[in-house]
A and B are shown apart, each in its own frame.
Chain A
Amino acid sequence: MRSDFLTALAEKQRNSTQEVLAPRGNILFSDGTTLASTQPVFLIYAQPKIIQDKTQVAQTLAQTFWEDDHEGEVIEPDEKVSQEKTLQENIFQTLSKDLFWVSLGRRANSEEKLKIEKKNLKGIGFETGSARFYPEGSSSAHVLGFVGSDIYGSETGYFGLEGFYNGELKGKDGLLQQEQDAQGVPILIGDFLVREPKPGKTLVLNIDRTIQHIVEDKLKQGLAKYSAKEASAIVMDPKTGNILAMAAYPSYDPINPGKYPKENYKNPIIADNYEPGSTFKVLVMSAAINEKLVTPDAICDICAGPVSLGGFTIRTWNNQYQPDSSMTDVIVHSDNTGMVFVSKKLGVNKMYQYIKNYGFGNLTNVDLQDEVSPNMRPLNDWREIDLATSSFGQGIAVTAMQMIKAVSAIANGGQEMEPHIAKLIKDDNKSFPIQPRIVGNPISKETAQVITEMMVKAVDKGEAQFYKKNAGLANFSIAGKTGTAQIPVAGHYDANKTIASFIGFAPAKDPKFIMLVRYREPQSSIFGAETAAPTFFDIAKELFIYYGISPQQ
């Protein structure tokens, strides 16, 4: 007699069950202001079998949708008519389906909902949902990631923090089951089952809102000024690994990622490989000094001219040579031949060991989704030329995150900290702070001091010195190194295509921040000293004011 089936049917009629969505957790800047929260949105649906005049309804909706999508824009009347007509046709096709319920595939905010409700369109309704709200607009897009749907239609975070901390942010949906009468009204004395939704946890970040704004502003200006294809910058506290700002362009708007190319979703700071060029020299030099193979005053006896090695010729970037250069001079003048001298002293085994000790070849474990680590060439595959080229940062691939983490060891007395975006995860009851973590000690404190002094001289006497003075920072002690790395294209290096970079920290003796700025294929100049360095100094100037740091010299 199908008793089970009929019982189930009766239960379904008698009881109403609804899922109570858990609000997604908020993401806050370090000062507690909001970077991402939630807002109510209303999924617009239609009941085609109730709608009589589908053409009229489609036209009304098309007008409303178009006005909301293009608010404040100036568009030609003909173009407006054409776009509205296309929209109207799409809506009409949806309304013409032989279904009881269709989604119009549009999520309206409360103003749009009110506008549509006032038009009293029969057969058009709204289902309440939630979406992300970003008070700072598209700022910090690569840090945040975005929220989309998974294959089951559930809300899921992709990329960045939304992806990495998706489990903590999404919360747990609740359930409300109650007995109802024939009209669907709940019966108080009837069966009642409630499972409260558990809201997602709140993330408090190390990202400083002001520093993030400064970095984004200056980087955007630089991208335009130097006509580069891409730009990125990261600012970190070397003593804790706290990431204070991170930005990359081209970017996207996390509220509407579908409008942007998918290539933009990837955070180049953690997901793009590049050859670091001369910025890598400070790490190689630190290895040789740490091993007591060279001192800052040791003389390079092969720096009088180009160096021939295994059929290759290694030249300086400007084809100028300084015989009897000291190791400090090698860093100041970014001398490739001097670095070949250092690499020969180190040898393949020690070079390889220090590259690994600095963390290259491994993930940094920064709390962002989709971090990659380029593979390191196995030790057995290293040839003499590889040893030489890696000493000046070519023939070796790294990510920007690996690079800043490594150099931060120099800024932090030899200790390398694990980088972190999030400072704290909290809910209504508890807080879970994320503590700074030492993940390496590649060099000694003394070596770090020596390299720092060399880097200060590199800034004050090297090719970037003019830009430091131009920025009004002549009396500030900044340790840094420029980098101009040719990009490998189809098996060879293209001299006109470079990654121009600058990495530095300040104040040199007691650093408050370390920063890496990169431009890919800048057109105005290929050199890091003329593109990334000026941007670095522009940002550093703002940071000195923000932190109230006065000149050290």
Chain B
Amino acid sequence: MSPVHKFSSFNFFSKRILLFLCLPLILGIILEIWLANRLSTSGEEINKLERLAINLKMQNQQLKNQIDEKSSLVFTFSQAQKLGFDTISKIQYLKASDLALNH
């Protein structure tokens, strides 16, 4: 007896129960196929995110290098000269007084 004949020989409630049990199974299979497809085709998205991460890291390094350059002594010295700063020419050393001065 074929599965179709077997099915048609079931009573009404048995058919409903069987359909009710098969539905989640069918839905599950469809969902799995859909998820697998989404996952397998998300490679392109992952690729984009990876490239974005690499670019951001590169930009981060470039910005850090710019900060290092602007805070370098070579740059500070050249800017100081442009602004008219000069080297110390005279230093006065103060000796500690032997007296306590009260005003």
B65 located at the interface, meaning its Cβ lies under 8 Å from any Cβ of chain A in the complex: yes
A506 to B13, CA, bound (A): 105
Does B74 lie within 8 Å of A139, measured CB to CB? yes
The residue that A185 contacts in the complex, of B44, B71, B77, B93, with Cβ under 8 A, is: B44
Q: A186-B46, A187-B43, A189-B36 are in contact. Are A133 and B74 (CB under 8 A)?
A: no
Q: A39-B62, A39-B65, A185-B43 are in contact. Are A136 and B36 (CB under 8 A)?
A: no
Does B65 lie within 8 Å of A136, measured CB to CB? no
Does A39 lie within 8 Å of B40, measured CB to CB? no
The residue that B93 contacts in the complex, of A34, A186, A550, with Cβ under 8 A, is: A550
The residue that B68 contacts in the complex, of A33, A187, A188, A213, with Cβ under 8 A, is: A33
What residues on B are CB-neighbors of A110 within 8 Å? Answer: 58, 62
Kindly name the residue among A38, A39, A210 whose own CB sees the greatest number of chain B CB atoms within 10 A. Answer: A39
Least Cβ distance of B80 to chain A in Å? Answer: 12
B97 located at the interface, meaning its Cβ lies under 8 Å from any Cβ of chain A in the complex: no
Least Cβ distance of A425 to chain B in Å? Answer: 20
A551 to B93, CA, bound (A): 8
Q: A40-B62, A136-B73 are in contact. Are A188 and B43 (CB under 8 A)?
A: yes
Least Cβ distance of A192 to chain B in Å? Answer: 10
Interface size on B, residues (CB 8 A): 25
The residue that A136 contacts in the complex, of B46, B47, B74, B93, with Cβ under 8 A, is: B74
A137 to B59, CA, bound (A): 21
Q: A188-B39, A188-B43 are in contact. Are A133 and B73 (CB under 8 A)?
A: no
Q: A136-B74, A209-B73, A545-B88 are in contact. Are A37 and B43 (CB under 8 A)?
A: no
Closest to A34 in B: B68
A189 to B36, CA, bound (A): 8
Residues 164-175 of A, flagged 1 when their CB comes within 8 A of B and 0 if not, give 000000000000
Least Cβ distance of B70 to chain A in Å? Answer: 8
B91 located at the interface, meaning its Cβ lies under 8 Å from any Cβ of chain A in the complex: yes
B64 located at the interface, meaning its Cβ lies under 8 Å from any Cβ of chain A in the complex: yes
Least Cβ distance of B50 to chain A in Å? Answer: 9
B61 located at the interface, meaning its Cβ lies under 8 Å from any Cβ of chain A in the complex: yes
Interface residues of A in 11-45 (CB under 8 A from B): 33-34, 37-40
What residues on B are CB-neighbors of A39 within 8 Å? Answer: 61-62, 65
A67 located at the interface, meaning its Cβ lies under 8 Å from any Cβ of chain B in the complex: no
Does A186 lie within 8 Å of B47, measured CB to CB? yes
A39 to B61, CA, bound (A): 7
A409 to B92, CA, bound (A): 33
What residues on A are CB-neighbors of B44 within 8 Å? Answer: 185
Does B43 lie within 8 Å of A186, measured CB to CB? yes
What residues on A are CB-neighbors of B64 within 8 Å? Answer: 37
Does B61 lie within 8 Å of A40, measured CB to CB? yes
Interface residues of A in 143-166 (CB under 8 A from B): none
A181 to B37, CA, bound (A): 13
What residues on A are CB-neighbors of B69 within 8 Å? Answer: 135
Interface residues of B in 51-103 (CB under 8 A from A): 54, 58, 61-62, 64-65, 68-69, 71-75, 77, 88, 91, 93
Interface residues of B in 11-57 (CB under 8 A from A): 36, 39-40, 42-44, 46-47, 54
A213 to B62, CA, bound (A): 25
Interface residues of A in 28-66 (CB under 8 A from B): 33-34, 37-40
What residues on A are CB-neighbors of B39 within 8 Å? Answer: 188-189
Residues 125-148 of A, flagged 1 when their CB comes within 8 A of B and 0 if not, give 000100001011101000000000
Does A40 lie within 8 Å of B40, measured CB to CB? no
A128 to B62, CA, bound (A): 14
Kindly name the residue among B36, B62, B75, B88 whose own CB sees the greatest number of chain A CB atoms within 10 A. Answer: B62
What residues on B are CB-neighbors of A133 within 8 Å? Answer: 65, 68
What residues on A are CB-neighbors of B40 within 8 Å? Answer: 187-190
Does A135 lie within 8 Å of B62, measured CB to CB? no
The residue that A210 contacts in the complex, of B43, B68, B73, B88, with Cβ under 8 A, is: B73
What residues on B are CB-neighbors of A210 within 8 Å? Answer: 73
What residues on A are CB-neighbors of B54 within 8 Å? Answer: 128
Closest to A176 in B: B50
What residues on A are CB-neighbors of B72 within 8 Å? Answer: 33, 135-137
What residues on A are CB-neighbors of B65 within 8 Å? Answer: 37, 39, 133, 135
Least Cβ distance of A108 to chain B in Å? Answer: 13
What residues on B are CB-neighbors of A34 within 8 Å? Answer: 68
Interface residues of A in 186-215 (CB under 8 A from B): 186-190, 209-210, 213
Return 21 A-B CB contacts under 8 Å, by A number. A37-B64, A39-B61, A110-B58, A135-B69, A135-B71, A135-B72, A136-B73, A136-B74, A180-B43, A185-B43, A186-B43, A186-B46, A186-B47, A187-B40, A188-B39, A188-B43, A209-B73, A213-B77, A545-B88, A550-B93, A551-B93
- Which 10 A-B residue pairs are closest in the complex by CB-CB distance? A186-B43, A135-B68, A135-B72, A34-B68, A135-B69, A185-B43, A40-B58, A185-B44, A213-B73, A550-B93
Chain A interface (Cβ < 8 Å from any Cβ of B): 33-34, 37-40, 110, 128, 133, 135-137, 139, 180-181, 185-190, 209-210, 213, 472, 545, 550-551
| 13 further A-B pairs in the complex, CB-CB below 8 A; given A39-B65, A136-B74, A188-B42 | A37-B65, A38-B61, A40-B58, A135-B69, A135-B74, A135-B75, A136-B72, A139-B74, A181-B43, A187-B40, A187-B43, A189-B40, A213-B73
